[in-house]
Amino acid sequence: MTCIVDGDTGWERGVKWRALDVDTPEIGKPECAAERRLGEKAGDRLRELMGGGYTIEWTGGKGKFGRELARVRLADGRDAGQVLIQEGLSQPWPNEGNKWCRN
């Protein structure tokens, strides 16, 4: 079973993963309301993208919080994280800070 937590985190067959090279806005503990709204959009968009078919490419590494690092490869070959960056719903990781709450 697949479960999307947010735009860069999910569960696949009981394994919690973190998308490699992307950072989406937080929804659990956002720094501002705009971050939460955009974070929800990023998660919804990732669900939509993955609904067309996907493959999880495991890197064999683990992230800061023990999540397995992975790429979500869409059925058309695109990297889902890069699509979210192109659509303004994510930023490259490592990032230069929380751009979602800057005025």
The overall longest dimension of the chain from CA atoms, in Å, is: 40
Question: How many beta carbons lie within 10 A of that of residue 64, not counting itself?
Answer: 6
Tell me the whole-structure pTM to 2 decimals: 0.93
pLDDT in tens, 32-81: 999 999 999 999 999 999 999 999 999 999 998 999 999 999 999 999 99
Q: 45 to each of 49, 61, 84, 87, how far by Cα in Å?
A: 6, 25, 8, 10
Whether 65 is covered by a domain: the verdict is yes
**Residue 57 domain boundaries:** 2-93
The total number of structural domains that make up the chain: 1
Whether 6 is covered by a domain: the verdict is yes
pLDDT in tens, 10-34: 999 999 999 999 999 999 999 999 9
Q: Can you tell me the distance from the alpha carbon of 20 to that of 39, in angstroms, rounded to the nearest whole number?
A: 17
Whether 100 is covered by a domain: the verdict is no
Whether 99 is covered by a domain: the verdict is no
Could you tell me which residues come within 8 angstroms of residue 57 by beta carbon, excluding any fewer than 6 positions away? 70, 71, 72, 73
Say which CATH number the domain at 28 has: 2.40.50.90
Whether 102 is covered by a domain: the verdict is no
* Res. 2 pLDDT band, cuts 50 70 90: confident
Whether 101 is covered by a domain: the verdict is no
Whether 73 is covered by a domain: the verdict is yes
Whether 59 is covered by a domain: the verdict is yes
